[in-house]
Every structure is written in C-alpha cells, then in structure tokens.
Structure 1
Amino acid sequence: MFDSPTFPLIALVFAGILLFQLFKGVRETLRRRRRVHGGAEAEAVVDWVGPVEPPAATEHPFALRYRLPSGAEHVQRFERGFDGVVPAPGWRVRVRFDPADPGNVEISDNPYTGPLPGAPAPKEPGPVARVLPRAGFLVVAVLFGALFLVSAQGGELSLPLFGAVFAAVGLFAAGGAVSVLRRHATLRRSPMHTTGEVTHVWEEWRRRGSGNDRRRVRLYPYTVRYTVADGRTVHRRSPEASNPPRHRAGERIEVYYDATEPTRFSPRSPGGGASVGAYIGIGLGAVFTLVGIGIMVFTLS
C-alpha cells in the first residue's frame, strides 16, 4: 500500500482538504476580530422571511435591514441565526458588523432565542470545546503532511504515521461524540413535551463504512414544526433519519425538547436519536484509536 506511487498523492490530497478547512476557520476568526475590534453595532429589523425548502434550507432564511454609520441602509440575507425559531417580519435584534464590509455581520443579541422563562441559561462551551475541532483538523493535517513526505521518500515511518492518523481521528471523533452526549444531558433528564408536525420528507444519500465496505446509503431525513411552552414556533430538521422513511409529511408526532435550549429536540423519546448516534461515534472512535495505537506499537517494536 505505502509502496504505491499513488499513495503519497492520496495523503497530500487529504492533507490539503484538512488544511483548507483549517484555513476557513482561521479566515472566519479574522472576520470576527474585525467585527469585534473596530466594528459597529446597530438595531436590525427582520425584513422578510423565506420558506423552509429542504434539502437546501432546513431552517427559515431571512433578511435583516440595518443602518450603517454613513446613514445608508443595508439588507443582508441570513441562512440561519434564530436557532430554528421561526422569525416574523418586524422583529428586532442587535447586530455587530464591519463598517468597511457590511456583509461581515453577526447577530450580537437576539431576544427571541434562549431558554424558556424560569429555565437556566445554557452553559457556554469552555475554551477546550471551542479549540478542540480546529486543533483536531490541524493535528490530522500535519500527520497527513508528514505521511506524504515520508512515504514519498520511501521512509520506514510510513506505517507508524498511518497508525497515528488513525488514532488521532478516533480520539477527536470520540471527543465530539462525548460533547454531544453532554449537550443532551438535560434533554434526557427533564424533557418538555409537545406535539409537532412533520412538514417535509426528502431523500438523501450518505456514505457509510470504510475501505472495501464503503457504500452509499439512502436515508430519509425530515423537518418538524412545533410550538414551545412560551409560544415560540420552532421549525427545523430532525436529528434523525432512517430508511424506510419513519414519517410522512403532514404527520403529527411527539416531540421532546430541552427547556434550556427549546430548539434542541428529539422525536419519539428524550434524546434518543442523538444519544444512539453519539454512542456509535464513541464506539467507532475507540476502535479507530485502538487500531491506530496497535499499528504504531506493532511497527515500532
């Protein structure tokens, strides 16, 4: 495998993809700094609200109209920003933007999102949780780059580096799955309950498995619209998908949601779909990590 002339190219392509993702993250960080340092704030009004049109739009797109420091008005389209809450024209939020680039904008204060009255505010992610995804991309990209360089020169460290890539991917996959479980802890312990409506069901193809077992699988995700206890309407994609389709458009289903974050929901059972997926992620991450460590130990001993 490592003696193949195409393997260095494959490693280089993977490293390039990961570095590109890292570049996008760094670019967004720089854009955010320009909004925060030297940026301007203004009150924005919801100008219009578009329909949910899966698979392209699984939440309601909308446009905000706000005034620039020059006095001119600017209208900016957003694909998301209300966390699944259905906005209405005339709603007012606060935005922060770069005066030199009014399209570089974020919603800084949104009174229509957040917990139900009397429920605690959701915990902000810690520094480790914020840095971990980018650190994971960086580590895997560096390992792939090193693997490309070593394999291109016919070095003996190709196999140990391949094991290191496996272990790193497994560790970060398991860490992400643990984060999902922690986020759904309140939903599992004390869920709120209501009835929702399935609004759209569509076909989606995903890739499953790895190596020779890699295959395309057809799934049927769906969107759900429901109303929470304080009257807000939520309309967004369900966290689960299945084949055959579990529901049909227009069907009424039970919905469990978190009072702290009422836009996070689970159909049929509190946290069921997300929890199963997280446990699978932890299992696969553990397998990848153990296989990677085994490859490194075996080849270096």
Structure 2
Amino acid sequence: MKVQVRGQGARRWITIGTIAFGALFFVIGLILAGVSVSFLTDAERARGSVVALEWRNDDHNGASRKTRGNDKPSAYPVVEFTSADGTPREFRDSTGSNPPSYEVGEQVEVLYRADSPEDARINGFASLWLLPLIFGGLGLLIAGIGTGVALAMRGRS
C-alpha cells in the first residue's frame, strides 16, 4: 500500500497529528506520575522480604515466543510483609526483569494502602516511576520532533 502526501495542507495535518500524539503520550506520563505521587502520599511503609521469584513469559496477547523477539522469562518478586494491623501479607510485584532485580531473602521496603493492603508495591524506581518516564519521555520526543518539523516547514514557506 502506497500513501502519497500531496500539498502543504496534508503535511501540516501530519505534523499536527504527530505533535498531538506526542502530547497525548506526555499527558499519560503525567497522569501516571500523579498516580505514583498520590500512592506515595497515602502509603504506609513496612519491611518485607522477597520469599520467591516467579518466572513468567508475558504472553498476554497470545504471541508465540518466535514472534516476540525476546523469549527470556522475567522474574517477578513475591514479597511477604506484615501490615500495621499485624496481619501477614503476600503480594507479587508488577514489575519483572531479567536478570532479576531482587534475590530471594532480600529485605525490601514495602509501600501499601492502609485501607487496602493488597495494593502493595516495592519501594523502588521501576515499580513507581518506570511507566511515567517511558510515556512522558516518548511523548516529549515525539512532540519535539513534530514541533521541529513544523518550525522547519514554517521557515521554508
């Protein structure tokens, strides 16, 4: 399929679309950062221990290993901690990596909501800030490229 872009008007709309797409990603990054900040302000802190590593291939969309490009499983830490009410709790962190970021037996700081202790995270960079940084950074990059192209087109006309 060939797409031909003709005329200044089509280029302008593509540039505006690129800037809008980048701005949307940036806004999503800001929203995710706000969610992390909100979680941090309300979170209780507890000491926890990594009791296991759950190795998973994240094939949520049914893609085969051959088409994914990365067939290595990721290690997701399973953490035990005791909440403020004295109840022992366990959760699986939502961020996995290969090689593993944590070792079995490692002590970690756990952040959790007092009203719902099952909503817990390890107090670490990846758990709190990785998604906001990815979305915000990509958004700035894409919007910056679109803006640069728009300024270059404006200078030529």
TM-score higher than 0.5? yes
Alignment of 1:1-301 (within 5 A): 6-8=1-3, 151=4, 154-156=5-7, 157-189=9-41, 191-196=44-49, 197-204=51-58, 216-217=69-70, 218=72, 220-227=74-81, 228-230=83-85, 231=87, 233-236=89-92, 238-247=93-102, 251-253=104-106, 254-260=108-114, 262-267=117-122, 270-273=123-126, 274-300=128-154, 301=157
Q: Whose radius of gyration is greater, 1 or 2? A: 1
Change (3 A) 1:295 1:246: same
Report the AA paired with residue 159 of structure 1.
Answer: R
| Deviation (angstroms), 1:7 | 4.4
- Cα distance per residue 1:234-291 (max 9 Å; x no partner): 433x23232322346xx23424213355344333xx3521214423432221111111
Structure 2 unmatched ranges of 5 or more? 60-67
Secondary structure of the corresponding residue to residue 242 of structure 1 = coil
- Cα distance per residue 1:30-60 (max 9 Å; x no partner): xxxxxxxxxxxxxxxxxxxxxxxxxxxxxxx
Aligned length: 138
Given that 2:23 and 2:143 are in contact with CA atoms closer than 8 Å, whether structure 1 keeps it comes out as yes
Structure 1 unmatched ranges of 5 or more? 1-5, 9-150, 206-214
Separation (CA, whole Å) in 2 of partners of 1:187 and 1:256: 12
Given that 1:170 and 1:289 are in contact with CA atoms closer than 8 Å, whether structure 2 keeps it comes out as yes
Separation (CA, whole Å) in 2 of partners of 1:155 and 1:194: 62
Separation (CA, whole Å) in 2 of partners of 1:262 and 1:271: 18
| Deviation (angstroms), 1:171 | 1.3
Secondary structure of the corresponding residue to residue 235 of structure 1 = strand
Separation (CA, whole Å) in 2 of partners of 1:7 and 1:229: 62
Given that 2:89 and 2:118 are in contact with CA atoms closer than 8 Å, whether structure 1 keeps it comes out as no
User: What percentage of aligned pairs have identical amino acids?
Assistant: 15
| Deviation (angstroms), 1:195 | 1.4
Secondary structure of the corresponding residue to residue 96 of structure 2 = strand
- Normalized per residue, the structure richer in helix is 2
Separation (CA, whole Å) in 2 of partners of 1:193 and 1:160: 53
Given that 2:110 and 2:120 are in contact with CA atoms closer than 8 Å, whether structure 1 keeps it comes out as yes
Report the AA paired with residue 173 of structure 1.
Answer: F
TM-score (normalizing by structure 2): 0.64
Given that 2:91 and 2:120 are in contact with CA atoms closer than 8 Å, whether structure 1 keeps it comes out as no
| Deviation (angstroms), 1:191 | 4.3
Whose relative contact order is higher, 1 or 2, with alpha carbons under 8 Å and at least 6 apart? 2
| Deviation (angstroms), 1:219 | 6.1
TM-score (normalizing by structure 1): 0.38
